[in-house]
Homo-oligomer: A and B are copies of this chain.
Amino acid sequence: MGKRGQCRDKESLWDCAHQIGVGIINICGGQGKCHTCKVQVLSGSVSDPTPSELEIFSGQEVEAGWRLACQTYPTSDCILNLPPESITTPQRTQIEGLGAPLLPEPIVLAYPLELKPPSLSDLRADADRVFEGLKEQYQIQCKKMDIDVIRDLPIRLRSLNWRFRVSLRGDEVIALHPLSSPHLGLAIDLGTTKVAGYLLDLDSGKTLAAKAEMNPQISFGEDIVTRITRILKSPDEGLRLQKVIVNSLNQLAEDLCSEVGSKTEEIVDSVVVGNTAMHHILLCLPVEQLVYSPFIPAVKEALNIKARDVGLRIAPGAYVHFLPNIAGFIGADHTAVLLSIKASEAKGIVFVLDIGTNTEVSLIDEGEIYSVSCASGPAFEGGHIRDGMRASSGTIERVRIEQGKIQYQTIDNMLPIGICGSGILDTIAQMYLTGVLDENGRIHNDHPRVRSHQNEIEFVLVSEEESSKRPSIGITQADVRAFQLAKAAIRTGIQVLLETKGLTEEDIDQIVIAGAFGSYIHIESAIAIGMLPSLPLERFLQVGNAAGMGAKLALVSYTKRAEAQNIASRVHYIELATAVNFMNTFVQANYFGNYRIKRGKREEIV
């Protein structure tokens, strides 16, 4: 969740968490009886397991750090993993994207068949009987059947009494189901932090269920570089990380299916989008060449891989389609974003931003696409910000300073427990607009809410008194610096692309902002601090989880897959660090306020 806090002497993990505003479920009142407060201690030392813990956890689980929060007392700084089922206030993860209408043209088609059973006068093999049924009843020439389908075929044909539905992918039979089975597809948006899954009906193109979860690899490192460093240290780690993510995808598929009363083996097609690193880790591809200059992916082309070769448990012969990557730091998730906003049909000069730990920025100019990747860091997700945390119940998401008074809004209107990306952005913008911050990003300590606390200068949003004796929430000078670097990275990406094409801010017809953070932010705040160019608000479009939408489009339409391939092949990738004026532009982009940047020089807009 990203929430940090201090705890008092002789407080259990449960008490600590509660103290800093994170609710862990506990029904029995801390007696160790209800077993609902399971947490995993990832690092740090804690008290020995109690008998009631030893009763419910296996030796292996205790070894892996699993404990009951109400029975465990920290004896040093600790990092905990809180599984979703243990938390009372689930994190907000966005799963809905732009609601473009889907025209279903699925690559996997379903054909109902009824066959004559074999007899001594009709000795055709089971597979041949299916092939000939398709030919006679649908004039389809097909001689290929997945080996796992054949392995199940004799028993299945007989148990279904020779009446069934065949799923065909091109000229290959990939599944065989009862006539009444639904025809399902699974789209997955695999992010560094979160994983979103969508279950679709391939015939209608409708989304039947959607669910998002945290990427369980987080316990191996919050950011991708930490995870890759682990893999480079030990080759087994790569397999372990792959297993962790594929297990969670299988669980996600099961959860989605059980929501609509289906089985995962009824999923006959699937699409995965993710950044290049997540793509490589899921496919068990080497990552070393990805993190050392010149940052080369193993593969950029779209891939069709048998689900079993990835470890995904869906229909026996089904494939996973991986949309094409663009470069080492621009993955298939950005291809999906470009697909969902119809990049190939865009008119005028359109910018597309997918804001995250890595922010992808694309400039679309009449079908030509130019892209850069900006290392914007974790600040937008609350990372490296003292009171920052990812969006969930009780985090401050909107802030205004009106006549020196703070007004804020928390998610679900709960008591404030921290501040998430959009709240940080608002606060910093308001600090700048009310003169608490100067254009260099320095906090002036002549404001009543600015104080020095634990050797740091901070702007207090919620004081201890205002939060009924819980820890205060504020923005420190260090927080401002972290956010400043992040916003400068994005603005630099925009400027470098404009200069590459000899354009200026005024030439931009539209800026499309994708991603969870991007869809919650106040555009005015982003303009105020110089993160986005100063343009009329109607030129901005916040589209939500466009990557997930792109994955869904590719899932239900082969035309869209071809379009994605076409888009990816048309992208000119620009390595930010090698661009002209990069350093100057970056330095100028660090300033707060409204300005233009031309050839590395800043002009104030009055």
Contacts and interface: CB of A to CB of B under 8 A. Distances in A.
Interface string A349-374: 00000000000000000000000000
Given A123-B575, A155-B286, A284-B151, A145 B294 contact: no
B118 A294 contact: yes
B294 A125 contact: no
A143 B569 CA distance: 13
Interface stretch (A297-305, A425-433, A593-601): A297-305
A126 interface: yes
B301 A128 contact: yes
A142 B300 CA distance: 14
Copies in the complex: 2
B575 A286 contact: no
B298 A153 contact: yes
B150 A285 contact: yes
A119 interface: yes
Contact of A300 (B125, B285, B289): B125
A309 B124 CA distance: 25
A244 interface: no
A131 B324 CA distance: 15
Interface string A110-143: 0000000011101111111001000000000001
A578 B143 contact: no
Interface in A33-67: none
Contacts of A328: 123
A112 to B, nearest CB: 21
A149 to B, nearest CB: 10
A296 interface: yes
A277 to B, nearest CB: 13
A309 B294 CA distance: 36
A325 interface: yes
A265 interface: no
A126 B578 contact: no
Given A150-B283, A151-B285, A300-B128, A123 B158 contact: no
Nearest to A148: B309
B301 A143 contact: yes
A154 interface: yes
A154 B286 CA distance: 7
A582 interface: no
A123 B573 contact: yes
B120 A294 contact: yes
A288 interface: yes
A127 B279 CA distance: 14
A123 B327 contact: yes
Contacts of A309: 147-148
7 contacts: A124-B296, A126-B289, A126-B298, A127-B300, A151-B285, A153-B298, A153-B299
Given A123-B327, A143-B301, A154-B285, 17 more contacts: A118-B294, A120-B575, A123-B575, A125-B296, A125-B297, A125-B299, A126-B298, A127-B300, A128-B301, A147-B310, A148-B309, A150-B303, A151-B284, A151-B285, A151-B286, A153-B285, A154-B296
